[in-house]
Structure 1
């Protein structure tokens, strides 16, 4: 695949760092952002690049030339006038014959592109966008996705919001070459509004959710965070080609107040200190993954949609405090019959209901997790047994040990 990088940004919000070069050429620890991007992709075997340049584009050309000194091949598309975030893709029509990666030139990332591409091919859409949770969801557009990975909604950051899943467009896309047929003339075009959003109604836009490291250079604060993360190795470590570490969390009694079988949205309330604890997990480099038994679904007391809204509330409340979860696994089953309104097909003995470790094992496969260096934290013996069966270290929440105190102990 060719890699197409949109490298024409001015970077007005980060001009205080360096206003004399285009945004993708701002240096981090002695190297421009674009060079970090090329290095990350080259080590995965990607050698063919097209840079779309505009504002101060000669600075990029002078530095990279044809790419040979970096061991890659680089072509250029030069915007003589601003064409928005996608207008220049018209010029790809004669240069690209297959699917390609399109990414913003102002992000630091380390993503397993092969894994992303396999997902794209499996779903057979026109485009797949990479989405992820982050610690500032109110600054970003949020993506709504169904259980099949299809994008069903796009909530702009200016829109009124209630409860939502914390999934943000990360600025990395894989597009089918067929997308280029939509460019019939050279004109200013917005990638999100004019190209991607129309695909939602066509059921041709999919989302690939990843916990890997992706951060844009939009502000001086994020610039400083990236410098720290590169120095500590966090950027490389989060790539899913590497084994990950995780903290698995039970929900009721661990994250939110225990009220028995939680059936109503209004009864969901975060426990004191939970947001701070999960934020510490996020900053540690461990994944924060919720694994929760929800027999209320099998019992017919809560629908799948109602449960989804409860979890949207959980992610929204965490996001308001700058915390997020990387994964959510639910067991909707229950082995015993005899409840009014029960869902017969869910009344089974399964491998995912704790104390069995099925949810943890599924997450380990999805995220390449080293379970021996991971933790399971919950408030019941079934949580502990599930963690032990999966090979995790375990900690129990009780009156003397809140989630926050346990996380403080682990990461002190």
Structure 2
């Protein structure tokens, strides 16, 4: 099954980091956040990716082309130009890197992936958000309801800490889910190929007409996820993710890096406590 990742936005709200690289290449723990996302999908057996490029897409291309050599020991014969790689991490992933235009909107980027997605169910997410969501459970939920689209909805932490008061005394102060604010779009979609018919052209914003029309037609279902989810829209978000990683408390790191390329998803963690649907084999 293909996994589409939108990685072409300008990332203007993270300008401190994105002047020289696209937002999906901003690093957490020395690795691009997109790498974290792909490791998550690979952990559950989804290793066939199509990445929609735009702003500074050449940075992502170069990273992927050089990935194996940069993560291996090398023997270089300068006379012949031959390079031999020894050991290192070589995930058994296939990655299509697709230029989808500098100013193309999200819906247009998705539509430009059509030739690479196959006429079958596929997954889709943004290149700037991480979660510990069980992707096999998400897929099983999608197949259970039989509609065209599943959107993961989440309750992210509040932007500011919430004080809990006892009289005039603050007894607790922490970031908690926005229960009172309701659910928001957390990406991590599962989609049928018919959704392409809901997208007009490059100017189409996926979050507007396509999703609104799918909802009106009764074809959009919500997978309610109460577990960890965090996007990286701002420098503050990046620092929060980095702090979690540095402290060895990164909830989205559910893989073992040494065997991520071999994972079949059977050891996936299910932390949200929601109902479970019988998962179908990954295709």
Tell me the TM-score normalised to structure 2 length.
0.71
**RCO (CA 8 Å, sep 6+): is it higher in 1 or 2?**
2
Gaps (5+ residues) in structure 1?
139-162, 245-286, 288-363, 368-412
Does residue 93 in structure 1 map to residue 114 in structure 2?
yes
The answer to whether the 8 A contact 1:23-1:106 is kept is: yes
- Alignment match, 1:176: 192
Contact kept, 8 Å, 2:52 with 2:109, in 1: the verdict is yes
1:188 and 2:188 aligned: no
Distance in 1 of aligned mates of 2:18 and 2:112: 30
Task: Give 1:8-407 correspondences, 5 Å limit.
Answer: 8-65=8-65, 69-95=90-116, 96-136=118-158, 166-183=182-199, 186-230=201-245, 231-236=247-252, 241-242=268-269, 244=271, 366=275
**Is the 8 Å Cα contact of residues 130 and 172 (structure 1) preserved in structure 2?**
yes
Q: Deviations over 1:23-56 (max 9, x none)?
A: 0000111100111111111121111000000110
RMSD: 2.7
Deviation, 1:67, is 7.3
Question: Would the aligned equivalents of 1:47 and 1:71 in 2 still touch at CA under 8 Å?
Answer: yes
**C-alpha distance in 2 between matches for 1:97 and 1:199:** 19
Query: What is the TM-score of this pair, normalised by structure 1?
Result: 0.50
In 1, distance between residues paired with 2:181 and 2:32?
33
The separation in 2 between residues aligned to 1:137 and 1:126, in whole angstroms, is 33
Q: Structure 1 residues 237 and 38 mapped into 2: Cα distance closer, same or farther (>3 Å)? A: closer
| Structure 1 position 190, deviation (Å) | 0.3
Q: SS of the counterpart of 2:223?
A: strand
- Kindly tell me: are residues 63 and 70 of structure 1, through their superposed partners in 2, closer, same or farther at Cα, counting changes over 3 Å? farther
Partner of 2:170: none
Runs of 4+ in 1 over 4 A off after TM superposition: 66-69, 237-240
> What residue in structure 1 maps to residue 264 of structure 2?
none
Question: Matched residues in 2 for 1:66 and 1:171: separation?
Answer: 29
Query: What's the CA shift for 1:219?
Result: 1.1
Q: Return the alpha-carbon distance in structure 2 between the equivalents of residues 194 and 365 of structure 1.
A: 30
Taking the aligned partners of 2:29 and 2:16, their CA distance within structure 1 comes to: 16
Q: Deviations over 1:57-82 (max 9, x none)?
A: 00000001397744211002202342
Offset at residue 100 of structure 1 (A): 0.8
Q: Distance in 1 between matches of 2:66 and 2:94?
A: 6
Partners of 1:8 and 1:57 within 8 A in 2: yes
CA contact (8 A) 2:199 2:210 kept: no
Contact 1:212 1:238 in 2 (8 A): no
Instruction: Report which of the two structures shows the higher radius of gyration computed on alpha carbons.
Output: 1
Aligned with 2:210: secondary structure? Answer: helix
